Amino acid sequence: MTLAAGYITDLDYIPGFYPHMSPTAIRYAASLNRVVPPAITDNFRYLELGCGLGQSLTTLAAANPQGEFVGIDVNPSHIETIEKSISAGCLKNARAIHSDFISLPGDIGTFEFISLHGVFSWVSPEVREQILVIAKKHLAPGGLLLVSYNAMPGWAHLQPIREILRQYAAMRQGDTTQRIRDALNYLVFIRDKKAKYFEDNPRAAAYVDGLLKQDLRYLAHEYLNEHWTSFYFSEVAAMFGSAEMAFVGSLPIHTNFWDLCVHPEFQDLFRTTSNRLVTESHKDFCANTAFRWDIYSKQPKMIEGIEGRADLIDGLYFRAIRNDIKLPHQSNLGVVTSTVQGPLYEILLKIISQNTLSLSEILRHPQLAENVPADILRAVDAGVAMGLFEVNAAPVAVLSEPIPKQPYVPLAFNQFVLENDLLSGRPVSLASPATGTGHTLGDFDAAILHELCSAGEEGLAERVLVQLTDSKRSIQKDGKPVTDDTLRREMVEQACAVFLTEGIPRLCRLGIIEPKPS
Ligand SMILES: C[S@@+](CC[C@H](N)C(=O)[O-])C[C@H]1O[C@@H](n2cnc3c(N)ncnc32)[C@H](O)[C@@H]1O
């Protein structure tokens, strides 16, 4: 018998691809915290607990054909959807198991990576206990586990919203969709009538506007699960500690650098305390963190010395996110805005804007011979944290051939995604084996790509317009649907031109498209 233990199963969740879940992102975050991550060169295993509709699982399987990806979920409809994607995408290295966590087959073996996104805060205490049992038993020594959760204190002023939605929905009749719709209407009503809670918490009142833009399926899964809760970092660290696992870093990458998360006036404690459990909690207060992606390891092996990192860790290649970045470059990281500038970054941008290089290649690069390794490493990591560089799983080839006029999508999985998600209003994620992760396009760009691959550049905008009309998907300008035919045409023509000059070269570099075989 399956045991959802208070988790909603009568309504599917929404599909979504989360790049933090890629083995490469998890490995890099661990390595910059001086932990040796598992290799992903051959036969690694990856388990996703609560994989939902499986978009992350299947995209990552397509992008990492050398790994084996297993997803588990209690909702049979989710598993059915994943099985269709696996079969249509010809994925030999992915499988989905319909089971609750408690009934996970014991002989499933060990995994170098375990991930759970959108699960830990939303399940019962007993199910969380079971997750810890699975982690302890099935994470390979030196393996990495990624867990996301709603965090305190960022949820402090919002928790009553969840309680109002839950209580009101429980009183209503109808299915889950109807009940969340009614609860949302009631929430807006009491906000607009200036209930004292909203008057005293203006940020909570503003938050309601964001909820109105969300998909009802997301709202139901976020707010209506019986055991929803938010955690302080220290509580989660204690739980994983009891399962003999240690905190080894977090995502996004900038969260590993306290000076990129908190204002300078709070930084004294960080300078004087090396206890990470203390500094992480302090950081969450200074940044009012509402969501965390944390990485834990079982028996982590630590890296010695600066060069140790470059020598011990394979499969991480660095590249500038674009070829035309000009310094100084400003990054807004939420609480802190940081500026990248200086000669070291100028050289780094030059050497990794065309080629992808590994850390050891960067450290040995003749143009950096004047710089000490520690400074180079710090600049590379800070550049990634500030969104200037990206980390790939393999060297990404420099474009040697001209950009194809009629491209071809070689991966069956990507062909399936493009057909299946056409103009759905949701972003589309395509797998790139070169980077070991998925790359997300707007559904409109995906429709242009689809048309380009079907019949080339001739009459492209015209054909995209027909697709748009058939799908009834509107184009928006200034937040309003465009109804004027001439303006619609102009906007489509412009979107096609931008996609051809910027989108296509990028997809070529990522190996997502190739020249069509003759
Ligand atoms: C919010 S969704 C997140 C899905 C996916 N990880 C994502 O990010 O899109 C949580 C998922 O956990 C699954 N789940 C909840 N409790 C479970 C349990 N006890 N055993 C197995 N799966 C469970 C749900 O069915 C749901 O698909």
- Tell me how far the alpha carbon of residue 290 lies from the centroid of ligand 1, in angstroms: 20
**Pocket of ligand 1 contains residue 221 by CB under 6 Å:** yes
**Pocket of ligand 1 contains residue 280 by CB under 6 Å:** no
Nearest-CA residue for ligand 1 atom 7 is 52
For residue 2, the model assigns a pLDDT of: 45
Per-run averaged pLDDT (10 residues), the chain, 518 residues: 73 96 98 94 95 98 98 97 98 97 92 98 95 97 98 96 96 94 97 97 96 96 92 98 97 95 89 89 95 97 84 88 89 91 96 91 95 95 96 80 80 96 90 94 94 92 91 84 89 94 89 82
316: tokens are 């991480």
In the sheet where 94-98 sits, what is the strand order? Answer: 94-98, 68-73, 45-49, 111-116, 139-150, 291-298, 245-251
For residue 1, the model assigns a pLDDT of: 40
Q: Are 85 and 51 in contact (CB under 8 A)?
A: no
- Tell me how far the alpha carbon of residue 122 lies from the centroid of ligand 1, in angstroms: 9
Question: From the alpha carbon of 116, which atom of ligand 1 is closest?
Answer: 6
- Tell me how far the alpha carbon of residue 97 lies from the centroid of ligand 1, in angstroms: 12
Q: How far apart are CA 75 and CA 2, in angstroms?
A: 9
For residue 400, the model assigns a pLDDT of: 63
- Tell me how far the alpha carbon of residue 149 lies from the centroid of ligand 1, in angstroms: 13
In a 10 Å sphere around its CB, with 0-12 CB exposed, 13-18 middle and 19+ buried, how is residue 218 labelled? middle
- Sequence-ordered alpha helix ranges (H) in 321-363: 343-351, 359-363
Pick the CATH number of 19-151+230-298 from 3.40.50.150, 3.30.70.20, 3.30.420.610, 2.160.10.10: 3.40.50.150
Residue with tokens 């599917």: 12
- Tell me how far the alpha carbon of residue 418 lies from the centroid of ligand 1, in angstroms: 25
For residue 32, the model assigns a pLDDT of: 93
**DSSP character at residue 473:** P
- Tell me how far the alpha carbon of residue 429 lies from the centroid of ligand 1, in angstroms: 20
Is residue 150 helix, strand or coil?
A: strand
Nearest to 476 by CA among 213, 184, 132, 185: 213
Nearest to 282 by CA among 261, 297, 296: 261
**DSSP character at residue 38:** P
- Tell me how far the alpha carbon of residue 41 lies from the centroid of ligand 1, in angstroms: 29
Q: Are 351 and 366 in contact (CB under 8 A)?
A: no
**Pocket of ligand 1 contains residue 98 by CB under 6 Å:** no
Q: How far apart are CA 434 and CA 393, in angstroms?
A: 6
- Tell me how far the alpha carbon of residue 73 lies from the centroid of ligand 1, in angstroms: 6
In a 10 Å sphere around its CB, with 0-12 CB exposed, 13-18 middle and 19+ buried, how is residue 400 labelled? exposed
Rounded to the nearest 5°, which phi and psi values hold at 323? -85, -15
389: tokens are 């560089």
Contacting residues for 466 by C-beta, under 8 A, at least 6 apart: none
State the pairing for strand pair 139-150/111-116: parallel
List C-alpha distances in Å: 158 to 8, 136, 147.
Answer: 21, 33, 21
For residue 401, the model assigns a pLDDT of: 66
Q: Are 422 and 444 in contact (CB under 8 A)?
A: no
Name the residue of 8, 11, 13 whose CB sits within 8 Å of the most ligand 1 atoms, as the mutation to test its pocket: 13
Question: From the alpha carbon of 100, which atom of ligand 1 is closest?
Answer: 20
109: tokens are 């073996």
**Pocket of ligand 1 contains residue 5 by CB under 6 Å:** yes
**Pocket of ligand 1 contains residue 7 by CB under 6 Å:** yes
43: tokens are 């036969």
What does the CA dihedral 27, 33, 36, 37 come to, rounded to 10 degrees?
-20
Domain segments of the chain as ranges: 19-151+230-298, 159-223, 316-392, 407-515
Name the residue of 7, 55, 120, 180 whose CB sits within 8 Å of the most ligand 1 atoms, as the mutation to test its pocket: 7
Nearest-CA residue for ligand 1 atom 20 is 100
**Pocket of ligand 1 contains residue 118 by CB under 6 Å:** yes
Contacting residues for 130 by C-beta, under 8 A, at least 6 apart: 101, 102
- Residue type present at position 36: V
Contacting residues for 473 by C-beta, under 8 A, at least 6 apart: 423, 425, 443, 444
For the whole model, what pTM was predicted? 0.95
Q: Are 113 and 47 in contact (CB under 8 A)?
A: yes
